Amino acid sequence: MIQKNIADRPLKLPPGPSIRSFFLFLLIVVAAYFPLKKWGEPALAEIWFRQVICRMVTDAHTLENPEPGKMALGATRPELPQSLYGMDELQSTFGGRVSLISFYQAWGEGPLHAFPTEALYNMRKAGYTPMVTWEPWLSEFVRYGSKEPQKSLALIASGKLDAYIREWARGAARYGSPLLLRIAHEPTNPLYPWTSAYGNTPEMYGSAWKRIRSLFMEEGARNVSFVWTPFGLLDSAFFPGKDQVDWIGLDLFNYGSLSEQGTWIDFYSLAKLYVDQYRSLGVPMFAAEVGTSSAGGSKADWIRDMFRALRNRDLPELKALVLFDIPTGRTATGLPINWSLSEIRGVDSLIQREQFDTLFSLRPKAALRSYLP
Amino acid sequence: MMDKLILRLLIAAGFLSSLWFADFWFFSEARRDSFWFPILTVAIFWGIYRSLANWALIYFMTPSSTPSLPETVTYRVDVLTTAMPGEPFAMFEESLTKIQAMEWPHRTFLLDGGNDSQLMELCARLGVTHVDCRNIPGAKAGKVNYCLRTLSDAEIVFIIDPDHRPRPDMLSRVLPFFENSQIGFVQVVQAYYNTGNSFVANAAAEQTFSFYGPTLMSLHGLGIPTAIGANCIFRRKALDSIGGHAEHLAEDALTSMRLHAEGWRSAYLPYRGTEGLVPEDLGSFFKQQVKWATGMFEILFREYPKLFRKFNGVERIHYFNAGTFYFNGLATLLMLLLPIYFLFAQKYAVEFSLQDFILHLAPYAICTLLTYRFMSRFYTHPSEKRFPWRSLTLEKASWYVSCMSLLSGLLHRRVEYIPTPKNSDRRAMPMLVLPNLIAIGLSLLAVAYALFAYYRLDGGTWWMISLALLNVLVMVPVTVIALFPKYNWGSYDSKEHR
């Protein structure tokens, strides 16, 4: 065999890309990321929202009521929506049967007035169906804050607030699960600027309502049920229409001696007045705010009577009951009033557990475990 | 040129989509659990780190071909192969015949650890030098070094496993690379002739397709393809410069590391020069994995730090990536345990909605798949172009083997060097898949628990349920073939090819 020193005959191999060119490439890619994200992400998010998210929204215009023949029990608390601790206390009082959660949000700019995604996620995870009372105040809009507060319905109807409404509706669609939305409630209550007390007419009220609802439908928020709430017994003119409203949520308060007439009224009589008045509108009803003062009577007795009336099925029209557990209420004339349930010791003793169980539908299991022994 | 452009675009898209996902994962608005989020992050980003390393590597892809050889040049070549007691005689007969049939003039040594008389007779018949290696310590590499010290004096050494059958033109194709005086060794494709025999063989071979294609081609572009013990051609001078072939569980990897640290370069030729055996049953496959994984961990913990100063930057990065490959098992373990824990404990590491998670992960997943698809055009055989689900499930199912190897590597526990078994075992092997069975059972229980005990399943829970079900899906094929071997062997009625 021929022997040869092979070490001194270099042979060139095809050169691969250099390390330096790779780092240059990497630098360009990383630098390109930021403009790409800025321009590309919104476009991608829009496609994603229209093609995927919108199709995943739960169609819901009814209250979720897993147990037939029973009512849903709900409550509102002052610390909502930030914290659920007060709801946890109520759950232990009511045997884990509180399934609706109600809170209030004013319109405006900034995170406090944006769709409350995180709060709703928490509520959903804990098994609640949320009801948001969405109040069209103007003070938190930079452009409209200085305008007269009563202009809100006109601004909505003219489309000036569309951007805000759409953004909120999109948040609701993203959330995707059933949600009760109470818009511009109590259209004749003088405490609120969107009411007839500030010169708003039923026509303005109706056209604002229709615009909001149509924007929600456009954004695919089919999971939202619209709740209309009258203030007194004579608000039928403000009813936006049967096709516009999914629920009538009644606000039922006994002001006791603080009322205009200064008379104590029991739950049954009060509810009966409202139910009879609004039954003809042909929309299902529930009690969206229920509370009693202790001025001029016993709070415990009033609540015990309420449970008895409901248990006897005296008011079959009411599909849900939302307790207004708020200590800092006000009368229409501005007097402070305490609606809190914690004034009574042992609310759970007002009604027997078994009767209670047959009256209210059970709350979600996963959440239950931490409340039941 | 077009290929190069597509490749660059894919790599760019891969990096961009990973950045987008990382941006979402770390900086989007969501509540994160301070304890579990980092753990889940490690489990998820391990896979992303592997993809990024792969994208960075294939940037350097350079498919090579045989350089032309000046006619006056020739090399003396010694072929070294080993025998251990218990290996089938028919195999030696066939492979030694093929080795002798190589066109390039060469000498062949059979380093026999058993001094078998039948083999001696065979060697005499074929003109192979039979070397009695009964008392030589250090497994295969020990015998090779013994032979290099005493008998072999050629400038090129071809080390080949006894199950491998070389093609006649193998040497003449490879030798021209040694014209470049920097080249210390040349690696060719390791193909298998028994892949059709069983599911495991098929899957184990599938695991090597991308390695003997894009991966080694890219390393070739960087000048540092790894040596593979079964069929590698070394320059004698290079081996001598590191004191002979490394004696180690992962002897081939360590040898290439030492050679590269010493400044030698290597070359890879995408040519199916030899065909050998791939494990056919799960037992042999796992044994092979234990050997490789433990070897790689020992290299990472003990040898890599020693060689670190001698490596250049690229070698440091590449051998770190290679040494940490078997951490995949640990990542798989985490991905198995986390959904189970989260579903039972009703906990969240991070509260993304499933939709947002999918939106941000999808581009990354698509880029990974597209890259894989595109890479397959650089595979060395048309039959290799297919969706690699077999290799994927086999790799995931060997998670506990990697985890145990990690322990052995950390504790420096002695693992016996055994040649990969050449006979297949056709019994059911329930003990081998016990960890997988437990994982499947727990995952299903966790999903059932979530479906029954949760009232409302929100995005995060769905996400965990899909992860748990995905784990089950990935674990099932290997578990089934271990419990019911007939599915491993399928309709293929084993031809006794040995």
Question: What was the pLDDT predicted at A5?
Answer: 42
> Phi and psi dihedrals of B190, rounded to 5?
-105, 110
Q: B79 or A5: whose pLDDT is higher? A: B79
Question: In angstroms, rounded to a whole number, what is the distance separating the alpha carbons of residues B294 and B254?
Answer: 13
- Confidence at residue B383, expressed as pLDDT on a 0 to 100 scale: 81
Q: What is the pTM of this model?
A: 0.76
| A69 vs A203 pLDDT, higher one | A203
CA distance B266 to B263: 10
Give this complex's ipTM: 0.84
- CATH number for the domain including B139? 3.90.550.10
Query: Average pLDDT for residues B171-187, to the nearest whole number?
Result: 89
Whether A7 shows a pLDDT value over 50: the answer reads no
- Tell me the domain boundaries of chain A: 60-368
Query: What is the band of A4 on the pLDDT scale with cuts at 50, 70, 90?
Result: very low
pLDDT tens sequence across A302-360: 998 998 899 888 898 999 999 999 988 887 777 888 998 877 766 667 667 777 778 88
Residues in chain B within 8 Å Cβ distance of A366: 346, 453-456
Answer yes or no: is B60 within a domain.
Answer: no
Pick the CATH number of A60-368 from 3.40.50.1980, 1.10.150.120, 3.20.20.80, 3.40.50.720: 3.20.20.80
Q: Report the gap between the CA of A33 and the closest CA in chain B (Å).
A: 6
Of all residues in chain A, the percent with pLDDT exceeding 90 is 49
| Residue B56 with chain A: CB contacts under 8 Å | 22, 26
What is the average pLDDT score of chain A? 85
**Helical packing angle, B36-58 and B328-345, nearest 10°:** 150
Higher pLDDT, B456 or A280: A280
Chain A residues with CB-CB distance to B455 below 8 A: 127, 364-367
Q: What is the pLDDT of residue A312?
A: 87
Per-residue model confidence as pLDDT tens digits over A37-73: 999 888 888 888 888 888 888 777 666 555 677 888 9
Q: How far is CA B89 from the centre of its chain?
A: 28
* Predicted pLDDT at B419: 65
Q: φ and ψ at B61, to 5 degrees?
A: -60, 130
Query: What would the pLDDT profile of B26-76 be if each residue is shown by its tens digit?
Result: 998 888 889 999 999 999 999 999 999 999 999 998 877 766 666 666 789
Most distant CA pair in chain A: distance in Å? Answer: 125
The number of distinct structural domains making up chain B is: 1
User: Residue B68: what pLDDT?
Assistant: 65
Residue ranges making up the domain that contains B165 = 77-310
Share of chain B above pLDDT 90, in %: 61
> Distance (Å, rounded) from C-alpha B360 to C-alpha A124?
23
Q: Which of A13, A121, A127 sits opposite B351 (nearest CB)?
A: A121
Looking at per-residue confidence, does B491 or B475 come out higher? Answer: B475
Q: What six digits make up the tokens of B302?
A: 């003990």
Q: Does B35 contact chain A (CB < 8 Å)?
A: no
Residue range A135-181, pLDDT digits in tens:
999 988 988 887 788 889 999 999 999 999 999 999 999 888 889 99
Mean pLDDT, residues B367-388: 87
Distance CA B471, CA B331 (A): 12
* Residue of A3, A9, A13 to mutate, testing the B interface (most B Cβ within 10 Å of its Cβ): A13
Measured distance between the N- and C-terminal CA atoms of chain A, rounded to whole angstroms: 93
Q: Does residue B475 lie within any of the structural domains?
A: no
- What average pLDDT does this structure show over B88-98? 93
Report which of B428, B448, B438, B431 is spatially closest to residue B475, judged by C-alpha positions: B438
Check residue A78 and give its pLDDT: 92
Q: How far apart are CA B29 and CA B25, in angstroms?
A: 9
Looking at residue B77, its pLDDT comes to 94
User: How many angstroms separate the CA of residue B263 from the nearest CA in chain A?
Assistant: 14
Q: Looking at the partner chain, which of A4, A121, A125 has a beta carbon nearest the beta carbon of B74?
A: A4
Structural domain contains residue B362: no
- Which helix (H) or strand (E) segment is B374 a member of? helix B354-375
Per-residue pLDDT at B352: 79
Choice between A41 and B93, residue whose per-residue pLDDT is larger = B93
Given pLDDT bands bounded at 50, 70 and 90, which one contains residue A371?
very low
As a whole number, mean pLDDT of residues B6-30 equals 94
